[in-house]
Amino acid sequence: MRDELTDLTDAAAAAPGGPTGTPAAPAPQGEQGAPAESDEALLARARTWLAEDPDPDTREELARLLAEVEGAAGGSRDGGQSPVAELRDRFGGTLQFGTAGLRGELGAGPMRMNRAVVIRAAAGLAAYLREHGTDGSGSPAGGVETGPGAHRAAAGAAPLVVVGYDARYKSADFARDTAAVVTGAGLRAAVLPRPLPTPVLAYAVRHLGAAAGVMVTASHNPPRDNGYKVYLGDGLQIVPPADSDIAARIAAVGPLAGVPLPESGWDVLDESLVDAYLARSGAVLTEGAPRDVEIVHTALHGVGAETARLAFERAGFPTPVAVPEQAEPDPDFPTVAFPNPEEPGAMDLAFATARRHAADTGRRPDLVVANDPDADRCAVAVPDPDAASGWRMLRGDQVGALLATHLIHKHARGTFATTIVSSSLLSRIAGAAGLPYAETLTGFKWLARVDELRYGYEEALGYCVDPQGVRDKDGITAALLIAELAAELKQSGRTLTDLLDDLDTEYGVHATDQLSVRVEDLSLISSAMVRLRSQPPTALGGLTVSAIEDLTHGTDTLPPTDGLRYHLSGDPDTGVASGRVIVRPSGTEPKLKCYLEVVAPVTEPCGLTPARDRAATVLTHIKQDLHTASGL
């Protein structure tokens, strides 16, 4: 096994600097609004930062900006921002380490993602682990496999940190710096062999018995962003108080010159780790179950293509048909406006590939499957002759219900869980099967902590179907399981759409939608939340607001969070039995998000379409009323 990283910086060297000069909305995790300071004080701080910046790309970028500031007479740069204003934007605070780790735009300065920020983050994490060790980070949960003996911690051994990274700009550099800082701090570090999906890193933490894991990724954020996601030794993402404890240690890091950065001393894992992940992924399937299902797959320019292909082939499925324009990692994400399968237009090339494949072979694919760039999410589309593209994207709630139904059919036992912003249909499916059900705050950092979790999902295309292997969302295993379900249905002459019809008929149409408002000025989100609290709506979409919960106070089962939950009572005139609306600021993007659900019973024969139409109409009216109520 190699003990040095010999290939981590190849991608970064091929495209130095990346898209670091693109203006962006303020990063949600940054501290903005620091006290005003003089231009001279601002320049002095920037020069101090420049002097210790270890990255020649960001040094050059900052030096160029400083020269513009020093020679400017109040003029504006491209994009309308003056050099001084841009400098204040970069140095107006620091990216804050929280339960989402770090995420922001690439570039120089403490309000950007760069090597200096990552080195400090790694040093703070190492200090936390030196203090807490495996006890403070959480011992690996029961049922975890025994990993390679060379890495599993023996008594008295230094804690191990596993580092993964995607193919975004600077990801390789950030991973190497993390390994170096961890090693220099007297801990052990092991880096994944190449850019790989986030679920592989999450698996590795548990498989190797590590004290912590770091994944360098910005998931489905725009190309200009990168991020730093931390897991502790139980394979779970961090939550309070660990996040604030680590943040405090990051803040205590002194000058970068005092952070040891050795050139070697860490391990680079070999392909046996990937093989172990693939073997574990295939174990979610039933041996001997049908495998005759044809799939078009897109990785959206991310790192999931090869892992997904190998997983499908090893499980006995036909090799997925790749979307050629999006199969190889590309940090520019050139064919999509946003590399997120939920965004309009992101699936267009996948649908075009499916149509082309049908024309060439005479066989229409059964499914289109997409992973987001770090492959922890999974999107599914089904044939739809009424759609212009010939395909229809399923909502995350629909896929979540399908996977739950399939797991119950496979005799899965344990707690089924989802989040407060996801459909309530899962509670009914679990209840009918006599299984425990739980509901958490948004995000797998909470879902994965549910006692005796067997299955968890969130509406944003995240599914955990094997919590003992990957205690986080995993787009690869979810894709395998939905393919197995589609193959079983196909063998009996049915489709995923038919099963969705069955669920709606049995439990009522649980129609969901989302209103998402992206802003440039984060204060608009705060103002909207204030307005909704001070002037709450009494009706939404023709339904009476029967109760309002301000989630900042928490509930009997939920910790406090910035959000509002409206319970809606049914109205005979609308044909809807009940409804629910959650309003919350996004934790990773400059957005206000509103999650909507209405339940319309199917009461008459052949009444499925009318019930869906009624529910869709009410959802549209709720959206309109929320626009007015929020002032956005």
How far apart, in whole angstroms, are the C-alpha atoms of residue 68 and residue 82?
9
Residues 14-31, mean pLDDT to the nearest whole number: 35
How far apart are the two ends of the chain, measured CA to CA in Å? Answer: 56
pLDDT digits (tens, 9 = 90+) for 252-263: 999 999 999 999
- pLDDT of 5 strictly over 50: no
Residue-level length of the chain: 632
Confidence (pTM): 0.89
Hey, what are 268's tokens? 């680079």
DSSP summary character for residue 374: T
Q: What is the pLDDT of residue 70?
A: 86
- pLDDT of 114 strictly over 60: yes
Q: Where does the pLDDT of residue 135 fall: very low under 50, low under 70, confident under 90, or very high at 90 and above? A: very low
Taking domain 283-494, whether its CATH number is 3.40.50.720 is answered by no
The architecture (CATH level 2) of 10-273 comes to 3-Layer(aba) Sandwich (3.40)
Q: What is the pLDDT of residue 16?
A: 31
More confident residue, 632 or 596: 596
372 neighbors 486 (Cβ within 8 angstroms): no
Q: What is the pLDDT of residue 465?
A: 98
3-class SS letters over 290-311:
CCCCCEEEECCCCCCHHHHHHH
Per mean pLDDT, which of 7-21, 95-109, 177-191 is the most reliable?
177-191
Q: Where in the chain is the domain with CATH 3.40.120.10?
A: 10-273, 283-494
Residue tagged 């997983």 (tokens): 311
pLDDT digits (tens, 9 = 90+) for 570-586: 878 778 999 999 999 98
- Of the candidates 137, 171, 219, 423, the residue annotated as catalytic is 219
Q: Where in the chain is the domain with CATH 3.30.310?
A: 508-630
Question: 566: which strand partners?
Answer: 548, 581
Q: What is the pLDDT of residue 588?
A: 67
Q: What is the pLDDT of residue 156?
A: 62
- pLDDT of 56 strictly over 70: yes
pLDDT digits (tens, 9 = 90+) for 471-496: 999 999 999 999 999 999 999 999 99
Q: What is the pLDDT of residue 547?
A: 95
Q: What is the pLDDT of residue 213?
A: 97
With b for 16 or more beta-carbon neighbours within 10 A and e for fewer, the 469-485 pattern comes to bbbbbbbbbbbbbbbbb
* β-pair type (462-464, 509-518): unpaired
pLDDT digits (tens, 9 = 90+) for 75-105: 555 556 799 999 999 998 999 998 779 999 9
Residues 413-428, mean pLDDT to the nearest whole number: 97
- pLDDT of 617 strictly over 60: yes
Q: What is the mean pLDDT of the chain?
A: 89
Q: What is the pLDDT of residue 573?
A: 78
Residue 139 is a catalytic residue = no
Q: What is the pLDDT of residue 290?
A: 97
Q: Where does the pLDDT of residue 604 fall: very low under 50, low under 70, confident under 90, or very high at 90 and above? A: confident
Question: 205: which strand partners?
Answer: none
Residues 6-21, mean pLDDT to the nearest whole number: 34
Weakest-pLDDT range from 9-13, 86-90, 422-426, 514-518? 9-13
More confident residue, 152 or 102: 102
CB within 8 Å of 223: residues ≥ 6 apart = 18, 19, 168, 169, 331, 332, 333, 339
369 neighbors 322 (Cβ within 8 angstroms): no
How far apart, in whole angstroms, are the C-alpha atoms of residue 513 and residue 598?
9
Taking domain 508-630, whether its CATH number is 3.30.310 is answered by yes
CA atoms within 13 A on the CB side of 340: 15
Three-state secondary-structure class, residue 41: helix
